[in-house]
Amino acid sequence: MGRPVAAIVELSYPDNVTLLQGAMQNWRDLPAKGPAGSAAVERLLDGLEVSGHVLVVGPHPASMIMGLAQRAERLSVVTRAIPDAAEIGTAVPSATVWCGSLTAAAERLEPADVVVALADAALLLSTEEPVADWSSFPQLLHRLAAPGARVLMAIENERGMHRQNVGADLFVRDTDADWTPFATWDQTRPRRTEALPGLDGWPGVQFSAVLPTWETPAVLLDGAATVEDRALAMAYAAGDRRASALTVRSVGLADLALEQAAGWIVRVGVPSPGAVVTPVGPVEGQAPTTGPVQTHFLQAAADHDMPAMRALLRFWWEWLQEKAVDGVVPTGYADARLSNLVAEGGTLRPLRPGDTDLPVDRAAWLALADVMGVITSQGLTHPWPTAMNPQTRFAALLAMAEIPVPDDLGPYAEPQEPTDLSRDALLAVIRRQQNELRIVWSRFHWDEKQYAAYRASKFSRRVVRYAQRNGKQLPAKAKRLPQTLPATAKKLPAKAKKRLGG
Amino acid sequence: MDHTNLWYGHAHAFAEYCGLDSAAPPPIRGVIQHGWTFVHGLGYGHYNDPSFTKLVWSEISRRRGQVIGWRDFVVTGAPFAYLDRVRPREDVERTGTIWYPFHGTKDYETVSGAHDELVREIQRTEDGPVTVCLYYVEYDDPTIRQYYRDAGFRVICHGRRGAQWKGADRYFLARQLAELRRHRRVCSNRLTTAVMYGAAIGCEPGIYGDPMQFVGGKAGFVGDGLLEALYPQFFTPHVEDVAEVREIARAEIGMDRVMGPDELRYLLGWDDPWLPSSN
């Protein structure tokens, strides 16, 4: 059963929150996942002209809303979960927070000069209302946007690279959020970029593609990007540990970054933040002619091509040592992960700098722990024996490039791995499976007691004593059990009927 | 079986629908939602055997249960909906109002308020005969009962709920169905099961008057302010759009979720055709 009462929340919210139809008492969407909670997507807001009435639709981080509130004349927020509304209302006292469905809010709100809807429509639908088609949401947003308004609207892509090669189809996970898993995933939801501009009455619609995952976007790619920009964006996307490395490789090779993006953010009247944008801002540079070094390494590992693995690692180790000064790798090269490096002109180039200077050995250990983590967490094929201890395996990896082995292999060989499920979601899966086991055992015990009671009602005292010893909680009315059988008893097999005295 | 299945004659109504002896319904392998709520329909702290299916009235109840981590729901619709199907309708003209003052329970929460003021509010609002149906807790209190009798209202009680497998009145729901079928309006001072039942089968609902204090209500199960937001159409002495609230009530009671007798029997655990010892 889990936690039946603790999950029910006491109703409490500040005065700047108004409850509407669709308000959900026992649900939280925050902390926001997806574009609404992403640092990369916040770069879109840097170029957003904020003035007049700003409307934020869906669960967004309070910090983001606070930033908008400081620039807006008036700020309204619509969110479905009461605890989230309370959090936002408390953090941003100047905001007017409407808690309920967007349909209900649209009856009360005045048109806005800026509409920020970076949460997918699936996060706007309430348990309290019937399922609505996806198309109803852009229609509602259009109604809420004043003429000439600036609009940002996020749309998750069902065909996105983040939904390929996942452990379990996202429609069958059955997490607490999946009360109607196909809601808004109907025919009207765009699944191709050519379907995006079909938002009636909105001129000059442009978009940014979200890569590589929806829950933790790392890169924004402009819809009008060149082939070189798309390759550059996919090189950055490959560095996201939450993305499937092989899927990202495949999408990059096929040049399908826009069509198989995790989703899109439609921009109306909002300038593009750049062709390729990461959390720190727009990036430029030559597009890699090949994918990140990691891609080549993973391919060689899957192919059991250990000579190729050794050659690549030795080349990389020599490069890293050249960059080190007095045994320390400067910040600009300290993120030496294979996923962060591309081959260029006979050498290697990092896509992003590191956070701090690092001793060269430690930079190497961290980098190779990362690639080993990708292999093990994503279940990729590798040439080492299954029974090989993870620490020994890591040492063998280091030995391929004759890299010194750390005194303590533990932190490098068995680090925490990100998954596509949050910690709470994983715990929910465990609880559900424990419940399923309890259910099965309970059903077994129930049936055993029923059978024991049935036998007790038909047979000798000796059997009754046996049943009482072994089925301790026999129903008190065991002897009357046959009389409570339904009329369908007449349909029982002859043998059973005879046993029941029929 | 779970003792709450016997409340109000719910298990008995299912048995009657399935063509079984309604005086002795077989044990149900599940727990029936026993009242309309804005939570999940199964009450505070309700714990059942993990193998018990949660038999809820509406899709909304199922969704609300899912978000707090519960699973194994089946939306059957309310037993009231099944009784409405099997009990023949009499051709009587609906008249008057049946009024349900919000009630407490002997074992969980209580309701405290001024019944005399509520009487005056009813007299100001209703223009026809009024039947006041008190829950057995209030009905057993002669002081409360007298307030309504002195006002000239017809005062009734549908029966006792029972507790721990004893004392449940299996005709409760049938009496309630009969009364709701003959009254034109159904009213209360809070949005309750009775109002939903009545609205679903053709009464004009109304919510007005002092909602009174709900003493001992558990956190998250009180809903003050929330119900007015979720169901604003109901919170008026005279609803504007009766057809709209009727559709809402029918969805909340699960009138469109009624199953056939065979399907219901299998779901309730009353028939496992592959088991020789099937109950």
The pLDDT assigned to B205 comes to 97
Kindly report the pTM of this predicted structure: 0.81
Please enumerate in sequence order all residues whose Cβ is within 8 A of that of A211, keeping only pairs 6 or more positions apart, or say none. A161, A217, A218, A219, A220, A221, A233, A234, A236, A237, A257, A261, A262
Q: What pLDDT, on the 0 to 100 scale, is given for residue A387?
A: 67
The per-residue DSSP string of B174-228 comes to: HHHHHHHHH-SEEEESS--HHHHHHHHTTPEEEE-S---EEETPPTTS--TTHHH
> What are the pLDDT digits (tens) for A165-202?
766 677 888 888 999 999 999 999 999 998 886 556 67
Query: Per-residue pLDDT for B224 more than 60?
Result: yes
pLDDT computed for residue A338 by the predictor: 96
CA distance A2 to A431: 7
CA distance linking residue A445 with residue A309, whole number of Å? 56
Q: Provide, as residue numbers in chain A, all residues whose Cβ is less than 8 Å from the Cβ of B265.
A: 486, 488
What is chain B's mean pLDDT, rounded? 90
The pLDDT, as a whole number, for residue A502 is 45
- Type of residue found at B255: M
Q: Tell me the residue length of chain A.
A: 502
User: Is residue A501 within 8 angstroms of chain B, CB to CB?
Assistant: no
Best mutation target, B165, B226, B262, to test chain A (most A CBs within 10 A): B226
Answer yes or no: do B223 and A10 touch at CB < 8 A: no
Position A435 scores a pLDDT of 77
Note whether A24 contacts B: Cβ–Cβ < 8 A: yes
Q: Is B185 on the interface with A (CB under 8 A)?
A: no
* B114 in contact with A, Cβ within 8 Å: no
What is the least distance, in Å, from the CA of A13 to any CA of chain B?
11
Q: A115 - beta bridge partners?
A: A55, A151
Please check the confidence at residue B31 and state whether its pLDDT lies above 50.
yes
Over residues B33-80, the pLDDT tens digits come to 999 988 877 876 666 666 778 999 999 999 998 888 888 888 999 999
Amino acid of residue B155: V
Supply the pLDDT for residue A122. 93
Mutation pick from B22, B68, B245 vs chain A, by most beta carbons of A within 10 Å, is: B68
* Bridging pattern class, strands B110-112 and B213-215: antiparallel
Res A461: pLDDT: 65
Cis? peptide before A31, omega within 30° of 0:
yes
Rounded mean pLDDT of chain A?
Answer: 86
For the four alpha carbons of A264, A118, A274 and A240, in that order, the dihedral sign comes to: negative
Tell whether A26 is within 8 A of chain B (Cβ). Answer: yes
Q: Give A432-466 pLDDT, tens digit per residue.
A: 778 778 888 888 888 888 877 777 677 656 656 66
Pairwise CB contact (< 8 Å): A489 & B278: yes
What pLDDT score was predicted for residue A491? 52
**Higher model confidence: residue A151 or residue A450?**
A151
- pLDDT > 90? residue A154: yes
What are the tens digits of pLDDT across the range B100-155?
A: 999 877 666 777 788 889 999 999 999 999 999 999 988 999 999 999 999 999 99
Cβ contact A113:A146 at 8 Å: yes
% pLDDT > 70, chain A: 85
The ipTM of this complex is 0.81
- Rounded CA gap, B128 and B149, in Å? 16
* Predicted local distance difference test score (pLDDT) of residue A381: 87
Return the ∠ at Cα A215 (arms to A210 and A221), rounded to 5°.
Answer: 10
The DSSP letter of residue A20 is -
Partner residue facing A8 (CB), from B47, B62, B220: B220
Cα A396–Cα A400–Cα A401 angle in degrees, nearest 5: 130
In A64-143, beta strands by DSSP E: 74-79, 96-99, 112-117
Q: How many contacts (CB atoms, under 8 Å) link A and B?
A: 134
Q: In angstroms, rounded to a whole number, what is the distance separating the alpha carbons of residues A152 and A49?
A: 12
Show which of residues 26-55 on chain B sit within 8 Å of chain A, judged by CB atoms: 26, 29, 38-39, 44-51
Interface of B with A in 151-180 (CB under 8 A): none
Query: Which among A2, A9, A21 has the least Cβ separation from residue B230?
Result: A21
For residue A305, the number of C-alpha atoms closer than 13 Å in the C-beta half-sphere is 12
**Tokens read off for A103:** 């349909």
Cβ–Cβ gap A11/B44 under 8 Å: no
User: Which token pair is A102?
Assistant: 């967007």
Q: Which of A360-374, A377-391, A412-426, A449-463 has the highest mean pLDDT?
A: A360-374
Provide, as residue numbers in chain A, all residues whose Cβ is less than 8 Å from the Cβ of B224: 11
Nearest-neighbour CA in chain B from A206: distance (Å): 36
pLDDT tier, A280 (very low <50, low <70, confident <90, very high otherwise)? confident
Q: Does B229 touch chain A (CB under 8 A)?
A: yes
pLDDT digits (tens, 9 = 90+) for A469-490: 776 555 554 544 444 444 444 4
Q: What is the pLDDT of residue A5?
A: 41
- Average pLDDT for residues A345-358, to the nearest whole number? 92
CB A248 within 8 A of CB A299: no
